[in-house]
Structure 1
């Protein structure tokens, strides 16, 4: 998401508020598509997230009739909570600061088991540059369908991206990828 503004001297707080407003406006069609699809095929979804701090769960909760397909989610910020709630391997998590493709996949697979959902999405990464990330911003996310990882990707951002903007961008991008995966499943259904 690229935020454009014409005012000089806009405060970072105002930009954060604007980012959130633009994020919500831009996602309305995406929300409608995802919600309608899951309702139509009677499938469910759950979420495990850390770097996005609940924005994915918030997004699903905004979809019409969300309680019919969104079973819930877990925001696990710490290594201990990822181990306890999502069965992430403690030694592996400690070695990579809980940020790796395998950690995201494990989170997605295990949140689907916990909530007994057809679909699950997980994301872990960095929204601020820290020594553990070599001062870079990136996240790994995974999408699982019926117990199989169908998409696992890394998303890189510019290191000067504001934290809230990074979290919003991760969320928007992941939901866009989820829509594409739903499209692929829809094509498979229409062929068979």
Structure 2
């Protein structure tokens, strides 16, 4: 599996220079985000780890997600809770989360989609939704969701740098 090197290098450089850390909670991407972070230059300086919590029970047990939120349908609220929880569990500045369906199912009403969230220091800074064609192959969907979230993180980091610059 190959990820876009310029995006990985940008994320790595930002987190290293800012001395900030990150952790990942994922479901629909099945470890792809964790794999991507492990491929980044100097990952040991900023990547604290991740959790693949595929089932509702594991989201509750491993991430401490409220049972009511975890038992509801896959949603923005659930993904936000996952991003905040993983950042808290790993004591990081940033938390990323993705959950959804990489293949059509009865639970997804035949859709292929992902909710994703990015949290920074206890606050969700981005939360969105991606829907793909129902005939998208599951591996392609997981890869697309991963690359999209990494690109969104890169954009958030750029905005954060701009905010820091304007404050000074």
Range class of TM-score, shorter chain: over 0.9
1:111 is matched with which residue?
A: 86
2:53 to 63, 69, 76: 76
Q: CA deviation at 1:190?
A: 1.2
1:180 is matched with which residue?
A: 155
1:44 is matched with which residue?
A: 21
Q: TM-score, normalised by structure 2?
A: 0.97
Q: Does structure 2 conserve the Cα–Cα contact (< 8 Å) formed by 1:143 and 1:149?
A: yes
Alpha-carbon distance between aligned partners in 2 of 1:139 and 1:164, rounded to the nearest angstrom:
13
Q: Does structure 1 conserve the Cα–Cα contact (< 8 Å) formed by 2:69 and 2:77?
A: no
Distance 1:66 1:141, change over 3 A: same
Q: CA deviation at 1:58?
A: 0.4
Q: CA deviation at 1:171?
A: 0.1
Name the structure where helix makes up a greater proportion of residues: 1
1:10 is matched with which residue?
A: none
> Are 2:127 and 1:152 aligned?
yes
Q: CA deviation at 1:88?
A: 1.7
| Deviation >6 Å, runs of 4+ | none
2:117 is matched with which residue?
A: 142
Q: Does structure 2 conserve the Cα–Cα contact (< 8 Å) formed by 1:144 and 1:151?
A: yes
Alpha-carbon distance between aligned partners in 2 of 1:60 and 1:95, rounded to the nearest angstrom:
29
Q: Which runs of 5+ in 2 are unaligned?
A: none
Give the aligned length: 167
Q: Does structure 2 conserve the Cα–Cα contact (< 8 Å) formed by 1:46 and 1:112?
A: yes
Alpha-carbon distance between aligned partners in 1 of 2:131 and 2:95, rounded to the nearest angstrom:
22
Q: Which runs of 5+ in 1 are unaligned?
A: 1-19
